[in-house]
A and B are shown apart, each in its own frame.
Chain A
Amino acid sequence: MSTDRDPLLQKLFDVASQGLADDAFIAGVMSKIDALRRRALIAWAATGLLLALAAWLLTPTIVGAVDLLSQALPQSLVEFDEPVALIGQALSPLNSVAAIVAIGVLVIVYAYRKIF
């Protein structure tokens, strides 16, 4: 063992390591922990309240945006008239704003994985 402890000092340290009255100390620690828990609870409640408030305030905007998206996404990019209507039907899975958005997302994810 890489120590060369002095016997006298070792004895003094051993004697000095006395048992200490613990009740007040433990009560002090636990009361601080209770305060911590209360603060955490209040923080969670405040966050929940803020989120609920934000949802309440933003709901009309969010519903409007979702409505707009649900109208825009199925829109065809190219209109196919009668002589080539069959081709239009065959390409319909790709011929929409939603398809372009999906392809865009896939390309971005692929590029991200390639780069990082």
Chain B
Amino acid sequence: MVRLARNGDRQAFSELVSRRQAWVRNLMRRSCGDSVLADDLSQQVFLQAWKALPQLHEPGKFGPWLKRLAVNEWLQYARRNDPVRIADELRDEATASDDPARIAMDLDAALATLAHDARLCIVLAYHEGMTHDEIAQLTDIPAGTVKSHIRRGTVRLREQLAAYAGVAGGEQDS
């Protein structure tokens, strides 16, 4: 499929977009907390992928390559716009819900209070399951800083999403 798309096959690329879009869009949604902006950035990622695909020599590495494009797109946007929101602008502490859409909104709102580098580290750790070293390698942020971002970010998110402790996974808390 990647080989076909690399040779300019529109249908093959459309299939690749179909398979990867949810992953890229969720990554962007968690990173920027705005579904419209997230979809715009995700579209940019796929446009860049289309343009740069002929330079991808190993089709088997399409996934990691796309991940790097997505992270770079977000970093470029974040550095241009510094989209950190002030915590006071957000609504009051999240009240627990078991609706996935509501959970996503509360999570995005909590994430939006973190600085963009910290947010990206948290998203890559939790959304992507990446290790500190992998995040450091992907984002060019020093490993120590990644660790510190994740530790502090986790504490902050736990505070803001404390209401969920009794609902989602609360039984795992000590």
Contact = CB atoms under 8 A, between A and B. Distances in A.
Interface residues of A, number: 29
Given A2-B131, A3-B125, A30 B169 contact: no
Contacts of B172: 7-8, 11
B24 to A, nearest CB: 10
B55 to A, nearest CB: 16
Given A15-B100, A25-B42, A33-B50, A8 B126 contact: no
Contacts, number: 110
A12 to B, nearest CB: 5
Interface stretch (B12-20, B56-64, B81-89): B12-20
B47 to A, nearest CB: 6
Interface of B: 10, 13-14, 17-18, 21-22, 25-26, 30, 39, 42-43, 46-47, 50-51, 100-101, 103-104, 106-108, 125-127, 130-133, 147, 150-151, 154, 157-158, 161, 164-165, 168-170, 172-173
